[in-house]
């Protein structure tokens, strides 16, 4: 999304001399559809999170993408004996989890307004009175937290992750499930055709970038096939996971603040596995939840037959460390594990072998290294600003590039528009280029301009100013010297 969006934005501003290097044989990145039987399913992004004025929602309508509103209230919960425990789930959710969730949201706003330190979602849920004690409690958490962030509550920033600012910004609470035979990536292909017709050499497929070198005021990009490209500006749209794995070599190395910003952020791990059966044996609800004795044990299933009638497809979402383990198995082993879970959920029913399936492996794919970005506890806003910041003429765009929409497709879209605008301003007027980023921890110094060690780049004073020692004449009093010294100190303290 980010690459095509940036190209279109620059094209609309009058720039035609650009090249898009795409590592795979298609456009779309982590927006990818596949066929399971005769049905189109999404193995990557599958939702438009927040409809309303969300630019992605507007694009979906512009290009006539088909979607339905996700119904998170349409679910059934089964335990490890195959018993229906939905009533227990609803009671615990309404009485205990929902109030804790409400507390989490209000506490997050209070913490930001009062500049309190960051906290985990787990700690806020505990303060809100939520203490999970059963398998049903675990699946309540999984459905409401892990399923959204692909991380456990202990590893998610409560300060930044649960303000729901995205939904407030777009004035909606709806999530939309894509169900279009052309696939979700139809949006991106449609954007591409507005700029690049078929065969346009400015789009190079199967060009895997391995090196980016700043050289003689130009930037040289080298691919796996040892093809080089030279440019004045480069927009990097690799995922956080790719950047964290050092799959691309930067020369000179990215500055420390940039490497910190990249490696301290999170790349979520998520798999959407699809199984198609000859006959439907499961419940007629959109979501089938499994309250297993083991947490994160294939607990969230989606009935695709509900959104694509007659498809007879189940989807299971796998998150977190379980993704790493599962991706090391072969398809047969994975299917065996999943069928064993279904046998427990639907005890007494015959569970047949699937007639078709799809098992993506985003984490082990060097072009992606995971699903989407996530904000970890303790990751500061200043560090996030560094994550978005360019390094000289190398700019960065992706799902991690928008404060309120990180981890979502519209985050990629909005960050690409911002970067394209930054480059346009810089080209037209060099004084309008984005100022070099300097992290707050490196921006403290003497801020008093008459001091010997005045630091023009310092943002915050920290008491280090030194002054030329005054030579006091015989006519001056000791109080004059102290008075001058106190004035200097006062300016330093109150800056």
Q: Is the pTM of this model over 0.95?
A: no
For residues 419 and 479, membership in a common domain is answered with no
For residues 154 and 190, membership in a common domain is answered with no
For residues 338 and 386, membership in a common domain is answered with no
Residue 150 domain flag: yes
The predicted structure's pLDDT at residue 472: 42
- Helices 55-62 and 186-193 pack at an angle, to 10 degrees, of 80
For residues 20 and 158, membership in a common domain is answered with no
For residues 23 and 132, membership in a common domain is answered with no
* Residue 164 CA to its chain's centroid (Å): 14
Look up residue 184 and give its two tokens.
């979700």
> How many folded domains does the chain comprise?
3
For residues 86 and 161, membership in a common domain is answered with yes
For residues 226 and 293, membership in a common domain is answered with no
Q: Are 355 and 278 in contact (CB under 8 A)?
A: yes
Residue 214 domain flag: yes
- Sign, Cα dihedral of 242, 248, 249, 250: negative
How far apart CA 327 and CA 53 sit, in angstroms, is: 37
Check which CATH number belongs to the domain holding 252 and give it: 3.50.50.60
Residue 20 domain flag: yes
For residues 349 and 384, membership in a common domain is answered with no
How far apart CA 82 and CA 343 sit, in angstroms, is: 9
DSSP 440: G
How far apart CA 467 and CA 453 sit, in angstroms, is: 8
Q: Are 140 and 11 in contact (CB under 8 A)?
A: no
Give the structural domain span for 479: 443-494
How far apart CA 467 and CA 4 sit, in angstroms, is: 54
Residue 470 domain flag: yes
Burial bucket for residue 392 (CB in 10 Å: 0-12, 13-18, 19+): middle
Query: Where a domain ends, among 397, 412, 432?
Result: 432
For residues 82 and 160, membership in a common domain is answered with yes
Residue 67 domain flag: no
For the segment 284-294, what is each residue's pLDDT rounded down to a tens digit? Answer: 999 999 999 99
Residue 196 domain flag: yes
DSSP 155: G
For residues 297 and 345, membership in a common domain is answered with yes
How far apart CA 290 and CA 325 sit, in angstroms, is: 20
Check which CATH number belongs to the domain holding 148 and give it: 3.90.660.10
For residues 233 and 97, membership in a common domain is answered with no
Residue 281 domain flag: yes
For residues 142 and 89, membership in a common domain is answered with yes
Q: Which residues of the chain have pLDDT under 50?
A: 470-495
Q: Are 322 and 165 in contact (CB under 8 A)?
A: no
Residue 390 domain flag: yes
For the segment 346-384, what is each residue's pLDDT rounded down to a tens digit? Answer: 998 999 999 999 999 999 999 999 999 999 999 999 999
Please report how many Cα atoms fall inside a 13 Å half-sphere around the Cα of residue 318, on the Cβ side: 25
């Amino acid at each position: 999304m980010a690459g095509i969006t940036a190209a279109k934005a620059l094209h609309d501003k009058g720039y035609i001399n650009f090249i898009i290097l795409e590592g795979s044989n298609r456009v779309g990145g982590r927006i990818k559809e596949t066929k399971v039987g005769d049905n189109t399913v999404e193995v990557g992004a599958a939702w438009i999170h927040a409809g309303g004025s969300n630019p992605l929602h507007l694009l979906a309508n512009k290009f006539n993408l088909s979607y339905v509103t996700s119904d998170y209230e349409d679910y059934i919960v089964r335990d490890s004996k195959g018993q229906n425990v939905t009533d227990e789930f609803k009671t615990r959710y309404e009485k205990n989890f929902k109030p804790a969730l409400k507390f989490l949201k209000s506490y997050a706003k209070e913490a930001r307004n009062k500049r309190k330190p960051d906290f985990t979602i787990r700690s806020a849920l505990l303060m809100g009175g939520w203490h999970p004690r059963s398998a049903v409690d675990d699946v309540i958490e999984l459905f409401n937290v892990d399923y959204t962030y692909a991380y456990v509550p202990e590893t998610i920033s409560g300060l930044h992750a649960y303000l729901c600012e995205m939904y407030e910004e777009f004035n909606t609470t709806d999530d939309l499930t894509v169900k279009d035979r052309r696939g979700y990536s139809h949006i991106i292909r449609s954007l591409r055709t507005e700029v690049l017709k078929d065969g346009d050499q400015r789009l190079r497929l199967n060009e895997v970038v391995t090196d980016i070198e700043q050289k003689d005021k130009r930037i040289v990009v080298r691919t796996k096939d040892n093809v080089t490209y030279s440019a004045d500006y480069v927009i990097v749209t690799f995922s956080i996971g790719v950047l964290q794995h050092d799959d691309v070599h930067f020369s000179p190395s990215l500055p420390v603040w940039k490497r910190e910003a990249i490696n301290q952020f999170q790349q979520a791990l998520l798999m959407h596995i699809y199984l198609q059966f000859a006959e439907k044996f499961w419940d007629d609800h959109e979501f089938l939840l499994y309250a297993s004795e083991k947490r994160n044990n294939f607990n969230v299933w989606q009935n695709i037959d509900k959104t694509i009638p007659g498809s007879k497809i189940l989807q299971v979402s796998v998150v977190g460390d379980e993704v790493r383990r599962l991706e090391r198995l072969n398809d047969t082993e994975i299917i065996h594990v999943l069928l064993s879970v279904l046998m427990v959920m639907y005890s007494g029913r015959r569970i047949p072998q699937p007639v078709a399936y799809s098992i993506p492996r985003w984490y082990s794919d060097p072009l992606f290294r995971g699903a989407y970005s996530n904000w970890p506890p303790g990751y500061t806003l200043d560090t996030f600003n560094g994550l978005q910041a360019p390094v000289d003429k190398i700019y960065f765009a992706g799902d991690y590039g928008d404060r309120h929409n990180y981890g979502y497709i519209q985050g990629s879209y909005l960050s690409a528009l911002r970067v394209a605008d930054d480059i346009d301003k810089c080209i037209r007027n060099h004084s309008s280029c984005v100022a070099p980023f300097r992290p707050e921890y490196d921006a403290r110094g003497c801020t008093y301009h008459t001091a010997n060690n005045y630091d023009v780049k310092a943002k915050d004073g920290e008491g280090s100013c030194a002054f030329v020692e005054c030579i006091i004449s015989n006519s001056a009093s000791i109080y004059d010297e102290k008075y001058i010294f106190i004035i200097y100190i006062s300016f330093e303290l109150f800056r």
